[in-house]
Amino acid sequence: MGSDHMSTFAPSGVITLTTDFGHCDPFVGIMKGRILSIFPAAIIVDLTHEIPPFGIAAASFWLARAYAYFPIGTVHIAVVDPGVGTARNILAMEMDSHLFLAPDNGLLTGFPRKEHRVHTIDFDRLRLHGFPPPSATFHGRDIFAPVAGKLAAGVWHAHELGPASPLLPLGARGGSDEGLGIKGEVVVVDHFGNLLTNIERAAIERLRDPRVDIAGHSLRLCRTYGDALPGEVVALVNSFDVLEIAVVQGSAARNLNLGCGTPVQIGAKPAG
């Protein structure tokens, strides 16, 4: 296919994978086999395969916060796809000189509002380029992996995959600002049992002496886990610039018996 004069995407050869496939089955390995069959020099990195089954919001949360740590020119595949085999589309989005491939189910809409261009993959066009008809249930193997291989190899360009299309917003995301406080909720529970929320650093920094309220606990913000004693419940702005509730050297999810969807509120006077 030809070149795209508007694109700033120059492939680095790196491909990341984000799925809800888990680690028990060879599904991820098979995707890598397909990629290497098409692009033997691919450098493939697992972002995570333990997105909760069909957890579109969690996949969107992590991909949006992780992609920028990869080299410019990386192709990011995200397959959390309850609609696989139905008429749902697959999108290719270019943003920040990175490329993202994901089902058109809202996964790509949790990203920062940067300039981006989106194309809908035209399955007939793939057929013309020699792709066999995909299975009805494993597009990770049959579409995402080989298309990513072609894009990462620089053989195909995103605008050639199909027509440009708008990215439908997923509705209000992130903590909402009401009066002087901020309301949000827990959106991810990580491996350590830390509760990650959708309240961003920027919103918090507008507040003076903020206090975090969650499930009857009223917490002062601290800077890092080591600022409190083992077993203490702490609130901090974490390394992904969102509010996190943690138990020092313990599990907030288990100790407080809380999970995704738990409401969180920050009350404070506005700063300065």
Q: What b/e readout covers 137-175, taking b as 16+ CB neighbours within 10 angstroms?
A: ebbbbbbbbbbbbbbbbeebbbbbbbeebebeeeeebbb
Judged by CB under 8 A, does residue 163 bind a second copy? no
Alpha-helical segments (H) within the chain: 27-38, 56-66, 123-128, 139, 145-152, 201-205, 252-256
Residue 201 or 269 having the CB closest to a second copy: 201
Residue 25 or 205 having the CB closest to a second copy: 25
- Which residues lie below 8 Å from residue 69, measured CB to CB, with a gap of 6+? none
Question: Pick from 249, 254, 255, 263: which binds a second copy (CB under 8 A)?
Answer: 249
182 and 203 in contact (C-beta within 8 Å)?
Answer: yes
Question: Pick from 99, 236, 253, 264: which binds a second copy (CB under 8 A)?
Answer: 236
Q: What b/e readout covers 188-219, taking b as 16+ CB neighbours within 10 angstroms?
A: bbeeebbbbbbbbeebbeebeebebbbeeeeb
Judged by CB under 8 A, does residue 238 bind a second copy? yes
Q: Which of 189, 207, 193 minimizes the C-alpha distance to 266?
A: 207
Say how many residues touch a second copy, by CB under 8 A: 61
Residue 88 or 129 having the CB closest to a second copy: 88
Judged by CB under 8 A, does residue 205 bind a second copy? no
Min dist CB 246 to a second copy, Å, is 9
Q: Which of 69, 68, 75 minimizes the C-alpha distance to 100?
A: 75
89/119 Cα distance (integer angstroms): 10
Judged by CB under 8 A, does residue 231 bind a second copy? no
Residue 127 or 269 having the CB closest to a second copy: 127
Helix (H, G, I), strand (E, B) or coil at 66: helix
Judged by CB under 8 A, does residue 83 bind a second copy? yes
Judged by CB under 8 A, does residue 218 bind a second copy? no
Residue 74 or 262 having the CB closest to a second copy: 74
Min dist CB 5 to a second copy, Å, is 26
Residue 45 or 180 having the CB closest to a second copy: 45
Binding mask 48-77 for a second copy (x = CB under 8 A): xxx--xx-------x---x--xxx--x---
19/80 Cα distance (integer angstroms): 6
Binding region for a second copy (CB under 8 A): 12-14, 16, 18, 21-30, 32-34, 36-37, 40, 43, 45-50, 53-54, 62, 66, 69-71, 74, 82-86, 88, 135-138, 141-142, 188, 190-192, 223-227, 236, 238-239, 249
